[in-house]
A and B are shown apart, each in its own frame.
Chain A
Amino acid sequence: MKTTLGSLAVGLIFLGLWQAICSGGLVSPLLLPSPLDTGRYLVDSIREGLLFSALAITLGRLVIGYALGLALGWLMGLLLSVSALARGTLGLAALGLQTLPSVCWAPLAILWFGQTETAMYFVVIMGSTWAMAMATENAVRSVPPIYIKAARVMGSRGGHTWRKVILPAALPGMLAGAKLGWAFAWRSLMAAEIYVTIIKRFGLGQLLHFGRELNAMDQVAAVMLVIIAVGLAADRLVFIPVERQLRRTRGL
């Protein structure tokens, strides 16, 4: 309670300083919008429905692209974990591609798919899938061999061992990969939305992009705040509860 109040107080002081700098005319409003202007933009765009529709469109893209990236990465990870040939070829490629910042896929995506939804999905998939693939491979390969031996002694074989032993044992590692993949997916989608200037179906990235084109700094700041809020919400509402549950059942 005390810390909450403290945080609140510090936040208010920060906002007050920010407002004071803007009101005092120290900085041009073209460069730094005041918190009041930013708040006003947020309220207005919510009232017009613009913000929520952009948010919904962005989240829709994110869910589809991320799900495809996860599924593809998971399958590649399983393949990597069982095949040395795959590790020597696809594994090296995955390692290289993972280091490639996902925004670098945007020009290629636009040339291949044009200014389309597909181009954005492509960037999100390319951004998130490699992390998932490598985490899955690592998680499966580090399942303690004694679990597999114990299962075999009890009569478990092949598919049963995979379903009932290897995958559950690898779950924490795969979850870590999914979380990393999420972070990459979110960054990729923002890059893609800023690059792919689709005329209909505005997402948050496009709002940000057109905010810059229109020199609407309040819009730019407000959209950035929303993007931060989405990232925080995903962490707090999805990943942290799942991780906590996993820790509780397994005593990690």
Chain B
Amino acid sequence: MEGLGKTFPGPKGGRPVQALREVSFTVAAGEYVCLLGRSGCGKSTLLAIVAGLLAPDEGRCYCGDERITGPDRHRMLMFQEPALFPWLNVLDNVLFGLSFVDNLTPGEKRNRAEHFLELVGLADCLNFRIHELSGGMKQRVALARALAPDPDILLMDEPFSALDAMTREQLYEDLQKIWQQTHKTVLMVTHNVREAVCLGTRVLALERPGRIVADHAVTLPYPRGMNDVALAETAAHISGFLRQSEENGGQA
């Protein structure tokens, strides 16, 4: 993948609610950036703009040198819900993501789909129906479906928020492994500080209305465990910083 820069002065000002105001940042290729913020701070809006599902009212958003004007399979978005298609089985769901990848024979597409399902640990579930999977397995399929077309950037919108804590921790572990293997550029939205610190190489903290108040590089070595002392300290530091800036913001 070529150097991927993203300048983002992308405000989205709805009349009554201003979700984002003059946000600018760049994500470099190979970075795992976590956008952190409480609900309603505009982080999902921001992700939808990068995905091309929403158009910003002001500002511009670039992927590489190309201006983002609409959705594109090079910018894959994973939703809070798995958004898998219940009329297809697991394998066909992943193959759907490959429909628009050119230069692949049907056999190659199948191999690739199987490879990514194996990567997320579902090699035995190719022919399962979606309703036969647990919540965690569904998000794994969604992850395989998003990774299989080899996007330039993977966008994740709180992909773990609907899962229970144990499933989530297992997924953190696996996701770190997968990320180390693929070195995808990731932009993930979350409201969980520890999750952000556990997964990201960089944590951006967002405040209402979509203002970046902190930009932390996380240099802890992978794999990181949720209960590592160093991780907890970093998370506590960022949380403290956020609380402080919240109070300051309240006074201003």
A residues near B (Cβ < 8 Å) are 146-147, 149-156, 160, 164-165, 168-169, 171, 249-251
Residues of B in contact (CB 8 Å), total 25
Say whether A171 contacts B76, CB under 8 Å: no
Please indicate the chain A residues that have their CB under 8 angstroms from the CB of B79 in the complex: 146, 149-150
| Residue in B closest to A164 when the chains form the complex, CB atoms | B96
Interface assignment of B130: CB less than 8 Å from any CB of chain A? yes
A-B contact pairs, 15 of them (CB 8 A): A147-B85, A149-B53, A149-B83, A150-B77, A152-B53, A154-B73, A154-B97, A154-B149, A155-B71, A155-B100, A156-B96, A156-B99, A165-B85, A249-B86, A251-B131
Interface centre among B79, B96, B149 (most CB of A within 10 A): B96
Interface residues of B (CB under 8 A from A): 51-53, 71-73, 75-77, 79, 81, 83, 85-87, 96-97, 99-100, 129-132, 145, 149
Task: List residues of chain B with CB within 8 A of the CB of A249.
Answer: 86-87, 129
Minimum Cβ distance to chain B for residue A170 (Å): 10
A146 and B53 alpha carbons, distance in the complex (Å): 11
Q: Is the interface of A mostly helix, strand, loop or mixed?
A: helix
Secondary structure at chain B's binding surface: helix, strand, loop or mixed?
loop
A154–B86 touching, CB < 8 Å: no
**B80 nearest CB across to chain A (Å):** 9
Write out the residue numbers on chain A whose beta carbons fall within 8 Å of the beta carbon of B100: 154-156
Q: Are A153 and B99 in contact (CB under 8 A)?
A: no
Q: Which residue of A lies closest to B149 (CB)?
A: A154
| CB <8 Å contact, A168 and B87 | yes
In contact, B130 and A251 (Cβ under 8 angstroms)? yes
Please name all residues of chain B whose beta carbon is closer than 8 Å to the beta carbon of A152 when the two chains form the complex. 53, 71
What's the Cα separation between A249 and B97 when bound, in Å? 20
Q: Nearest Cβ distance between residue A223 and chain B, in whole angstroms?
A: 41
B205 to chain A, nearest CB (A): 26
Complex Cα gap A160–B99 (Å): 10
The interface residues of chain B lying within 8 Å CB-to-CB of A151 are 96
Complex Cα gap A19–B129 (Å): 53
Residue of B whose beta carbon sits closest to that of A150: B83
Taken together as a complex, chains A and B put the C-alpha atoms of A152 and B77 apart, in Å, by 10
Decide if A155 touches B131 in the complex (CB within 8 Å): no
Q: Which of A146, A149, A156, A250 contacts B129 (CB 8 A)?
A: A250
Give which listed residue, A156, A169, A250, contacts B131 with CB less than 8 A. Answer: A250
How many whole Å from B142's CB to the nearest CB in chain A? 8
Chain B residues contacting A171 (CB-CB under 8 Å) are 87
15 further A-B pairs in the complex, CB-CB below 8 A; given A147-B85, A153-B75, A156-B96: A150-B79, A150-B85, A152-B53, A152-B71, A153-B51, A153-B52, A153-B77, A154-B99, A155-B100, A155-B149, A171-B87, A249-B86, A250-B131, A251-B130, A251-B132
